[in-house]
Amino acid sequence: MYAIRGAISAKANTEKDILEATKEIMQNLMQENDLQKEDLISIITTTTDDLTKVYPGKALREIGYNLTPILCMQEMKVEMSSQKMIRLLIHVDGKRDKSQVKHQYLRNAKKLRPDLVE
Protein backbone atom coordinates (compact mmCIF):
# COMPACT_ATOMS: atom_id res chain seq x y z
CA MET A 1 0.00 0.00 0.00
CA TYR A 2 1.12 3.56 -0.67
CA ALA A 3 -0.41 7.04 -0.45
CA ILE A 4 -0.74 9.95 -2.84
CA ARG A 5 -1.33 13.57 -1.84
CA GLY A 6 -3.04 16.29 -3.80
CA ALA A 7 -4.46 19.74 -3.22
CA ILE A 8 -6.32 22.38 -5.17
CA SER A 9 -7.89 25.73 -4.41
CA ALA A 10 -11.57 26.35 -5.03
CA LYS A 11 -12.46 29.59 -6.77
CA ALA A 12 -15.23 30.38 -4.28
CA ASN A 13 -17.33 28.85 -1.52
CA THR A 14 -20.02 27.57 -3.84
CA GLU A 15 -21.17 24.01 -4.37
CA LYS A 16 -20.29 24.28 -8.06
CA ASP A 17 -16.74 25.50 -7.44
CA ILE A 18 -16.01 22.94 -4.69
CA LEU A 19 -17.32 20.05 -6.78
CA GLU A 20 -15.46 21.23 -9.88
CA ALA A 21 -12.14 21.62 -8.05
CA THR A 22 -12.47 18.24 -6.32
CA LYS A 23 -13.17 16.47 -9.59
CA GLU A 24 -10.23 18.23 -11.25
CA ILE A 25 -7.68 17.24 -8.60
CA MET A 26 -8.96 13.66 -8.40
CA GLN A 27 -8.91 13.13 -12.15
CA ASN A 28 -5.43 14.67 -12.32
CA LEU A 29 -4.10 12.39 -9.55
CA MET A 30 -5.56 9.30 -11.21
CA GLN A 31 -4.21 10.18 -14.65
CA GLU A 32 -0.73 11.27 -13.54
CA ASN A 33 -0.28 8.12 -11.45
CA ASP A 34 -1.84 5.77 -14.04
CA LEU A 35 -4.45 4.45 -11.58
CA GLN A 36 -7.81 2.74 -11.94
CA LYS A 37 -10.70 3.05 -9.48
CA GLU A 38 -10.15 -0.55 -8.44
CA ASP A 39 -6.64 0.34 -7.22
CA LEU A 40 -7.93 2.61 -4.45
CA ILE A 41 -8.35 1.54 -0.83
CA SER A 42 -9.72 4.79 0.62
CA ILE A 43 -9.75 8.56 0.20
CA ILE A 44 -9.49 11.19 2.92
CA THR A 45 -10.50 14.73 2.00
CA THR A 46 -10.04 17.91 3.97
CA THR A 47 -11.14 21.46 3.33
CA THR A 48 -10.27 24.71 4.98
CA ASP A 49 -13.00 26.11 7.23
CA ASP A 50 -14.09 28.67 4.63
CA LEU A 51 -15.47 25.95 2.31
CA THR A 52 -18.87 25.07 3.75
CA LYS A 53 -21.31 24.51 0.88
CA VAL A 54 -20.72 20.81 0.09
CA TYR A 55 -18.55 17.84 1.03
CA PRO A 56 -15.80 17.03 -1.51
CA GLY A 57 -16.93 13.40 -1.20
CA LYS A 58 -20.05 14.30 -3.17
CA ALA A 59 -17.87 15.16 -6.18
CA LEU A 60 -16.01 11.87 -5.86
CA ARG A 61 -19.28 9.93 -5.78
CA GLU A 62 -20.50 11.84 -8.85
CA ILE A 63 -17.49 10.66 -10.86
CA GLY A 64 -17.91 7.04 -9.85
CA TYR A 65 -16.06 6.36 -6.61
CA ASN A 66 -19.07 4.63 -5.08
CA LEU A 67 -17.25 1.57 -3.71
CA THR A 68 -14.28 3.44 -2.24
CA PRO A 69 -14.56 4.56 1.40
CA ILE A 70 -14.37 8.36 1.59
CA LEU A 71 -13.92 10.46 4.72
CA CYS A 72 -14.43 14.24 4.64
CA MET A 73 -12.84 16.35 7.37
CA GLN A 74 -12.10 19.98 8.14
CA GLU A 75 -8.48 21.05 7.93
CA MET A 76 -6.83 22.32 11.10
CA LYS A 77 -7.11 26.11 11.33
CA VAL A 78 -3.69 27.76 11.38
CA GLU A 79 -3.06 31.50 11.36
CA MET A 80 -2.08 32.91 7.97
CA SER A 81 -2.72 29.59 6.21
CA SER A 82 -4.06 29.23 2.68
CA GLN A 83 -7.77 29.65 2.13
CA LYS A 84 -10.31 27.75 0.03
CA MET A 85 -8.13 24.62 -0.09
CA ILE A 86 -9.25 21.09 -0.79
CA ARG A 87 -6.76 18.33 0.02
CA LEU A 88 -6.88 14.64 -0.82
CA LEU A 89 -4.97 11.71 0.65
CA ILE A 90 -5.50 8.59 -1.45
CA HIS A 91 -4.50 5.14 -0.21
CA VAL A 92 -3.59 2.82 -3.08
CA ASP A 93 -3.41 -0.98 -3.14
CA GLY A 94 -0.05 -1.82 -4.65
CA LYS A 95 3.64 -1.18 -4.41
CA ARG A 96 5.35 1.83 -5.87
CA ASP A 97 8.58 3.45 -4.88
CA LYS A 98 7.87 6.76 -3.14
CA SER A 99 10.06 8.54 -5.68
CA GLN A 100 7.67 7.38 -8.44
CA VAL A 101 4.48 8.78 -6.85
CA LYS A 102 3.28 11.94 -8.56
CA HIS A 103 1.65 14.13 -5.92
CA GLN A 104 -0.34 16.97 -7.47
CA TYR A 105 -0.80 20.57 -6.34
CA LEU A 106 -2.99 22.68 -8.62
CA ARG A 107 -4.05 26.33 -8.82
CA ASN A 108 -3.15 28.25 -5.63
CA ALA A 109 -2.19 25.00 -3.91
CA LYS A 110 1.11 25.05 -5.81
CA LYS A 111 2.53 27.23 -3.05
CA LEU A 112 1.80 24.54 -0.43
CA ARG A 113 4.51 22.21 -1.75
CA PRO A 114 6.67 24.00 -4.31
CA ASP A 115 9.19 21.19 -3.97
CA LEU A 116 6.68 18.79 -5.58
CA VAL A 117 5.42 21.06 -8.38
CA GLU A 118 7.04 20.48 -11.75
Question: For 59-116, what is each residue's pLDDT tens digit?
Answer: 999 999 999 999 999 999 899 889 999 999 999 999 999 999 999 999 999 888 877 7
Q: Using DSSP bridges, classify how beta strands 2-9 and 85-92 pair: parallel, antiparallel or unpaired.
A: antiparallel
Q: Is 2 marked as a binding-site residue?
A: no
Domains of the chain from N-terminus onward: 2-116 (3.30.1330.40)
Q: Is 55 marked as a binding-site residue?
A: no
pTM of the model: 0.94
* pLDDT for res 14: 98
What is residue 106's DSSP assignment?
Answer: E
Residues annotated as part of the active site? 5, 61, 72, 75, 87, 105, 113
Q: Is 5 marked as a binding-site residue?
A: yes
Least Cα distance to 69 among 77, 80, 61, 59 occurs for 61
